[in-house]
Amino acid sequence: MLERLPAPFDRHPGTWFLVGVATTMYVAVAAATQGTGFLASSAYTLRHFGATDGPSMLMGQWWRVVTSLFLHHDLLHLAFNMQALLVIGRSLEQVTDGRRVFGLFVLTGAASMAGSSAWYGWISPALGNTEAVLAVSAGASGAICGLLGAAWVAARRLRSPAPVRAALERWAVFILLFGLVVPGVNNVAHAVGLATGVALGWRVPLGPLRSRRGYTGETLGAALLMSGVLTAFVFAALDARGEPAYLAHDGEAATLAGFEVRGATRWENSDQVRRTRLCLDAAAEGSPTTRERCDDARRALAFGPTYAALARVAAAEGDAARAARYARVAAALPRGE
């Protein structure tokens, strides 16, 4: 789409690396859920592996803005995003370097998820949409919009033909309009990613690396970003430690293109409700198992009284900072099952 560079820049290692990581994560989720997450994952499974959601972000789990970029809700979500990533990523990599494409993907993607979390976790509830805090977000589309914004800037800087710039502009408009028409699409992440990509696109060097110092510097920068991504996944693994990758009696169905691919257990018989009842019963009795029971419950269901019980336990243990975080989440969540 943009002017081409000679090999080895035409091999697109950065783009293919990103596609490989996202695809590997999807396969890993499917394997960990014993195949139940192959066509689509439930909200619980996505949160378990590192998707963003209001309560987790309010608790300060910042690493989710990175891990969520490599997770996808269902097989179609993955397929569409990887196709778009191959087209846009390879086009951009033809005029720059794989390390820069990787950096743009991570930085614009993290910004898109941070903006999305701010909207759904703080701004939208403050405007009266209290259910927004429960939204679970995952996917590479915010980062892909960031690459699209950077590619548009590159086309302008290189004075590419008008039809090239127009094609990129039409693509951006389509993505934003698609998000307005189709329910469940995270348009905030798309818009923030696009804007961040445009802003960073003016700073990204174009063309091959021309000095050993530049090569070393950009390799070090990419290595630091990779370390950040790996660190985020370490935090995700530590948070999920000891928890199943899926609920045997999940009260939330998994859907693909609007069709249920795994039905939901009746809500009153679900693991979400069972765990929540165990938490509230333990809290009412003053049981020493309250913290353990309520920690299990909050992983399965975002429910105000669960976090309120955890806040009381933390306060009794003298952990004022954790108690304040739990209380903040409790105040933001619905109080009915």
288, 185: one domain: no
What is the Cα–Cα distance from 99 to 215, expressed in whole angstroms? Answer: 10
d(CA 141, CA 84) in angstroms, rounded, equals 9
37, part of any domain: yes
What Å distances lie between residue 111 and 46, 63, 106, 232, 295, CA to CA?
A: 19, 12, 8, 15, 29
Which residues form the domain of 164? 9-240
- The residue among 171, 38, 59 whose CA lies nearest residue 117 is 59
Identify whether residues 236 and 270 lie together within a single domain. no
Token code pair at residue 197: 């990509």
One domain, residues 81 and 198: yes
Give pLDDT tens digits along the chain (337 positions).
Answer: 554 444 444 578 899 999 999 999 999 999 999 988 899 999 999 999 999 999 999 999 999 999 999 999 999 999 999 999 999 999 999 888 889 999 999 999 999 999 999 999 889 888 888 888 999 999 999 999 999 999 999 999 998 888 888 999 999 999 989 888 888 889 999 999 999 999 999 998 887 655 555 567 778 888 999 999 999 999 999 999 999 999 999 999 988 877 888 889 999 999 999 999 999 999 999 999 999 999 999 999 989 999 999 999 999 999 999 999 999 999 988 765 4
> Do the beta carbons of residue 87 and residue 16 sit within 8 Å?
no
Count of the separate structural domains present in the chain: 2
Q: How many Å separate Cα 293 from the centre of its chain?
A: 27
* Nearest alpha-carbon partner for 37 in 249, 45, 146, 158: 45
Q: Is residue 248 part of a domain?
A: no
Q: Are residues 213 and 283 in the same domain?
A: no
Torsion angle of alpha carbons 80, 86, 89, 91, nearest 10°?
-120
Give the chain's length: 337
Query: Does residue 110 sit in the same domain as residue 180?
Result: yes
Contact in structure between 234 and 185 (CB atoms under 8 Å): no
Asked if residue 261 belongs to a domain, the reply is no
Is position 255 within any domain? no
Peptide bond into 8 cis (omega under 30): yes
Is 225 within a domain?
yes
Based on the fold, state whether residues 212 and 315 are members of the same structural domain: no
Is the same domain home to 58 and 114? Answer: yes
Residue 186 sits in the same domain as residue 304: no
Task: Tell me if 206 is assigned to some domain.
Answer: yes
In a domain, 3, yes or no: no
Same domain flag for 318 and 235: no
CATH of the domain at 289: 1.25.40
Confidence (pLDDT) at 184 = 82
